[in-house]
Structure 1
Amino acid sequence: MATTSKSPLAVTLKQNRPFVSLQQEAFLSILRTASELSNTADKLLRQFDITQQQYNVLRILRGAGTEGLCRNEISARMVAAAPDMSRLLDRMEKSGWITRERAEDDRRQVSTFITDSGKKLLTIIEGPVHAQTHRLFEGVKSTDLKMLVDVLAQIRSRRAELS
């Protein structure tokens, strides 16, 4: 009698029945991996009293330069959606990492800018974040990483088509 070995994900999830399809296994594997990577990032960033979303906003604003960005443009560039961008920015402004200014000609337009304090925090965090990312992917061949990036882009593209 032939035995079939369980996939690493099935073992991790303590799943006794086979996955409905390879697509389901891939989907659940992506979700599980994303959750584990997110928890790892949370643990690292917690040392600096910053969340992943706040870190992402600071990186976006630094990249925007002296022009700053409006709330909706920041939201559109986020890696993960932030359900309440206004409150997130309020907390970041209170921490001194960002400033917001209303446009003179259109008072409804509010631009957000990274402060020197926000830039300094990013500089401090980037070394440990880079080191952690390197450790997480250490041993994975560059060609495999490129393939992973390409496959994930295909999935995101397909999802966008279905929306």
Structure 2
Amino acid sequence: MTQEDFKDNLPIDSPERKRLPLLLRRAWYGLNQAFRRQISHAGATPDQFTALRTLNEGDSVGLTQSELTRAMSSDPNTVASLLERMENNGWILRKPHETDGRAKRILLLPSGEKKYIELRDCAIDLQGDILMTLPEAQRNTFLEELAKVADACHDAAQVAGRKNRSNNDQ
């Protein structure tokens, strides 16, 4: 994107302009804090809910830690710590992968499914409350466009990682 893509003379990073990184951070932080406060009584965190939801919606044989990490758009160390706490809570079971001796399958236990169901309504209600700020006719379009932005951010991170590795190899 260049300056010519805008109809005004403001620099792309002008404080008067709405800027993607700040808006995404503000939206994520507000949503995460609101959800954290709503579910704190249940002894769970937003990341734990995301893991529970992802496992609940995943394959019945379970996901590997790498698959869960990718599905959650997270990093391996964060997910490893998260899974340890969830296993201690009795929500998941990690068992050896059937063909890869280094990997483990993560299975959602009945108590984890129960916890997911307990938290799900809070998540649905919060999303509904947030999306109510948009006209009904724009909600699905907004989510579709946001998904494109999220995919573009993911792709940019992949490209930056490859460039960084390439520069380090020189």
TM-score with structure 2 setting the length: 0.73
Contact 1:53 1:82 in 2 (8 A): no
- Alignment correspondent of 1:78: 72
What one-letter code is carried by the residue in structure 1 that aligns with 2:65?
R
Aligned to 1:12: none
Query: What does 1:16-35 correspond to in 2, within 5 Å?
Result: 19-20=14-15, 22=17, 24=19, 26-35=20-29
Query: How do 1:1-163 residues align onto structure 2 when only pairs under 5 Å count?
Result: 19-20=14-15, 22=17, 24=19, 26-81=20-75, 83-103=77-97, 105-162=99-156, 163=159
- Give 1:101's aligned amino acid: K
Whichever residue aligns with residue 156 of structure 1, its letter is A
**SS, match of residue 60 in structure 2:** helix
Question: Aligned residue pairs: how many?
Answer: 145
Q: Which TM-score applies when normalising by structure 1?
A: 0.76
> Cα–Cα, structure 1 residues 79 and 104, in superposed 2: closer, same or farther, change >3 Å?
closer
Counterpart in the other structure of 1:9: none
Whether the 8 Å CA contact 1:99–1:112 is kept in 2: the answer is yes
Partners of 1:53 and 1:148 lie apart in 2 by: 23
**Tell me, what secondary structure is at the counterpart of 1:92?**
helix
CA distance in 1, matches of 2:35, 2:74: 13
Residue 50 of structure 1 aligns to a residue in which SS?
A: coil
**Gap runs ≥5 in structure 1:** 1-17
